């Protein structure tokens, strides 16, 4: 299995969102939710419509998921972009049970299919790094870190055991850490 990278360039993320939206609202909503939630693809794909829509048919402001890998319950608010993407996708496509259903029936798309969707969008938008479905989770952590969010908060969001693990996971290289010394230059 190849190590995938975060999508470091925000302009490429925006290009990928536009590309995916032009191809499929489902794929666009999956990408936007994934890049804004930090969830693993296995947790994204298991969402049912009842997990994200309230009794009045409105997309919930906060989602709750029991993570498959850790068995921990995670509760998180939806960003404006994720809320907008899910609302538009659900309004137009009206999924019945499974949120990100395959075209073959009422089953979720597979992890492999999600990988192909994300990888094709990345290649179409000129992203050169190794990209896969895990890149969504890594990108969320990477951009939070670059925005100045404390690494221990990102560690908590991603359910990692140490800040060092989180830094390695989100692709912060020694060169980027060395840049801090050079830029600070007190």
Judge whether 50 lies within some domain. Answer: yes
- What is the domain range of residue 73? 10-137
Positions annotated as catalytic residues are 40, 69, 134, 137, 160, 169
Judge whether 131 lies within some domain. Answer: yes
Judge whether 18 lies within some domain. Answer: yes
Judge whether 130 lies within some domain. Answer: yes
- The CATH number of whichever domain residue 112 belongs to comes to 1.10.443.10
Judge whether 4 lies within some domain. Answer: no
Q: What is the CA radius of gyration of the chain?
A: 17
* Low pLDDT (below 70) residues in the chain: 1
d(CA 184, CA 178): 10
Computed over every residue of the chain, the mean pLDDT equals: 94
Task: Please count the structural domains in the chain.
Answer: 1
Contacts 24+ apart (CB under 8 A), 119-124: 121/16, 121/19, 121/20, 121/23, 121/27, 121/31, 122/7, 122/12, 122/16, 124/19
Judge whether 116 lies within some domain. Answer: yes
Summarize pLDDT for 125-148 with one digit per residue, the tens. Answer: 999 999 999 999 999 999 999 999
Judge whether 168 lies within some domain. Answer: no
Give exposure, 126-135, as e/b (b: 16+ Cβ within 10 Å).
Answer: ebeeebbbbb
Would you state the pLDDT for residue 165?
93
């Amino acid at each position: 299995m190849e190590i995938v990278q975060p999508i470091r360039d925000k302009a490429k993320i925006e290009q990928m969102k536009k590309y995916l939206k032009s191809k499929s609202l489902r794929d666009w909503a999956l990408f936007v939710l994934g890049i804004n939630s930090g969830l693993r693809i296995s947790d994204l794909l298991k969402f049912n419509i009842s997990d994200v829509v309230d009794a009045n048919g409105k997309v919930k402001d906060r989602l709750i998921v029991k993570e498959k890998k850790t068995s921990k319950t995670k509760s998180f608010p939806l960003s404006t972009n994720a809320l907008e993407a899910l609302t538009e996708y659900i309004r137009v496509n009206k999924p019945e049970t499974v949120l990100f259903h395959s075209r073959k029936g009422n089953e979720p798309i597979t992890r492999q299919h999600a990988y192909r969707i994300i990888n094709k969008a990345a290649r179409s938008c000129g992203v050169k790094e190794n990209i896969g479905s895990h890149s969504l989770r890594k990108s969320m952590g990477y951009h939070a870190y670059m925005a100045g969010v404390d690494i221990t908060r990102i560690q908590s969001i991603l359910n990692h055991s140490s800040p060092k693990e989180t830094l390695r996971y989100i692709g912060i290289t020694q060169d980027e850490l060395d840049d801090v010394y050079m830029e600070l230059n007190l």
